[in-house]
Structure 1
Amino acid sequence: MTTRRAFLTQAGLFATGALLMPKLTSAKIDGKAGLQLYSLREQLPADPKGVIAKIAQAGYKEVETYGYSKEHGFFGLSAKEFSNVLKANGLSTPSGHYGMDMLFAEGKFGELDEAIEAAQITGQQYVTIPYLGDKFRKTGADLKNVAAKVNLAAERAKKGGLKLAYHNHNFEFDNIDGTSLYETLAKETNVTLEMDLYWAVRSNQDPIKWFEKYPGRFHMVHVKDMDKGQPELNTEVGKGSIDFKSIFAKAKLAGIKHFIVEQENFKIDPYASITESSRYLRNVLLG
């Protein structure tokens, strides 16, 4: 007969052994968990230092910036001040989203040059184009023109020791004269493709097929889950309908090093939300 004491002893030994055993079911993915600051766009302007501290407390190691201008910096902090706040909280920033309408409208590099300067000060490796207005992408000829300007911008960024990246929404996958903006950028440029997994899946795209077609091009991804009942909304990573485990299994093929959570809308407290997403990303998906 197994006594209660013997059972508890055996169970304790088993639990200890299980803790010491290496994980056999999943391999650790080489990458860092980050947060796109746009997720907290309503909170940041009032208290950027406090918000950054809460992001670090939520378990993130990196942030991706947005909304920089030479006049206002990052949320009222100069690039140097902002960099110091990140460092004080054990955070780094691999990438920033910088508006570049001047480049596509007039072929001017003023905004890009300001972005390069800010990226250099904060230690970013990527200057990322976050959005392309619809007036620049109506025809196949427009797409080729966009690709040509992206290549010019990439060369300018390279001279500054940086890489250019492009972040997608859904329209990049629309058929335009037999092709798409995403396909054009993949074929006719060599920039990093920062795939927003939510927008790709919502556009009925299979991220894995893109990884297989253009391996090594996706150094960053936006990890944004899709609400099961309302696909037009986001939810905490791991609670939605996107099969991140299958996608992350191809991370090495894709070249992903930075896994950046972004959530554009919330049903629960934003800080509770980003903490839940961080925990799932770090403990379940990255291993």
Structure 2
Amino acid sequence: MKRRDFIGKTSVATAGLMTAPGLVSKALEEDIVKSFGFQAYTVRDVIYDDMAGTLKTLRKAGFSYMELFDFQEGKILGKPIAEAKKIIEKSKLKVKSIHVPTGAADGQKVSGTMNIDFQRAVDDAAELGAEYLVCPYLTQGERTKIDQYKALAELLQKCGEMCQKSGLGFAYHNHEFEFEKLQGQIPYDIILETDPYYVKLELDMFWVRYAGLDPINLIRENAGRIPLWHVKDLSLDDGKKMTEVGNGIIDWPQLFRYQVESGMRYFYVEQDTNFANNSIESLKTGIKHLKKMKY
């Protein structure tokens, strides 16, 4: 049996073992989403200047948890961990995951990142109550050769093992470039060769569709390995721009029928650019659509 086939089969088996039959049945009976998360990168234009006010607004809009970014050198969103923790606790929003950079792009050596003093990031994430750390992005210089992805896979494995020892999960977040052939190989296949026990997936539905793939197929092939989703929509406009969740072509009711099979624990409404009005209103539009969605 090929290693990838073995990983796929063991992922399904593990997912079954980790989920009690009663919980699966209950989840399958649900026909509406009950809790909602957002990726703070969406509101990067306002959250730095007014973190408390931004979180209060989004909590009032119906969000109960979030994923953070800009996490390095003992800071989150530019604030010391202790200071940010107080603001977050007051907001009543829970931190479920945090994007942590590789820290070695373009010759950088940044502490508290995947490459430099990663344990610092693990400890700070635990202090904030996070359950997962996520590798969010590779700069152009980090993905020019297939050998870089092979080295990345080793780094992901190492970080995943370190997270597991501290009671955290670890995942990789995709864009479109991981699905584009490079030197005769698909980079995402190399990422999938990592041990699914240590390296989970954060599936960004927009970028999967942008790459011309069906996220349902990826879910079926990696059942139980996708605890985190990024929920953002694909516009019908030329250039396949992002748009507010519910205003694009992605069939969210169909996708959410696969949440149990994927292993999804949390999902984040997100929009990087192309806001109809502003970043806050884009998140509000998304959550309003999802609150009414039945699957």
TM-score normalised by the chain length of structure 2: 0.81
| Map 1:1-287 → 2, pairs under 5 A | 27-28=30-31, 32-70=35-73, 73-102=75-104, 109-190=115-196, 191-265=199-273, 266-284=275-293
| Partner Cα distance (1:217, 1:156) in 2 | 18
CA contact (8 A) 1:147 1:189 kept: no
Cα-to-partner distance string for 1:105-156 (whole Å, 9 max, x where unaligned)? 7897425223212211111011100112233333333322211121111112
SS in 1 for 2:181: coil
Distance 1:193 1:104, change over 3 A: farther
| Alpha-carbon contact 1:97-1:128 (below 8 Å) kept | yes
Q: How far off is 1:239 after superposition?
A: 1.1
For residues 50 and 68 of structure 1, the distance between their equivalents in structure 2, rounded to whole angstroms, comes to: 20
Deviates more, 1:213-222 or 1:263-272: 263-272
Q: Is the 8 A contact 1:103 1:149 kept in 2?
A: no
Once the two structures are TM-superposed, the CA of residue 172 in structure 1 deviates from its matched residue by 0.7
The DSSP-based 3-state class of the residue aligned with 2:79 is coil
Matched residue SS, 1:127 = strand
Q: Highest Rg: 1 or 2?
A: 1
Q: Residues 257 and 192 from structure 1, CA distance in 2 versus in 1: closer, same or farther, beyond 3 angstroms?
A: same
**Structure 1, unaligned runs of 5 or more:** 1-25
Residue 103 (structure 1) shift: 9.1
Aligned residues: 260
Q: Distance in 2 between matches of 1:258 and 1:52?
A: 18
Distance (whole Å) between structure 1 residues aligned to residue 146 and residue 78 of structure 2: 40
Taking the aligned partners of 2:185 and 2:211, their CA distance within structure 1 comes to 15
* Distance in 2 of aligned mates of 1:204 and 1:139: 22
SS at match of 2:212: coil
TM-score norm. by structure 1 comes to 0.83
In structure 2, the gaps of 5 or more residues are: 1-28
Aligned-pair identity (%):
27
Greater Cα shift, 191-200 or 125-134: 125-134
Cα deviation digits, residues 191-241 of structure 1 (max 9, x gap): 110011000000001111111111011101100011222453222111111
Rounded Cα–Cα distance in structure 1 between residues aligned with 2:114 and 2:49: 32
Contact 1:221 1:260 in 2 (8 A): yes
Distance across 1 between alignment mates of 2:61 and 2:116: 36
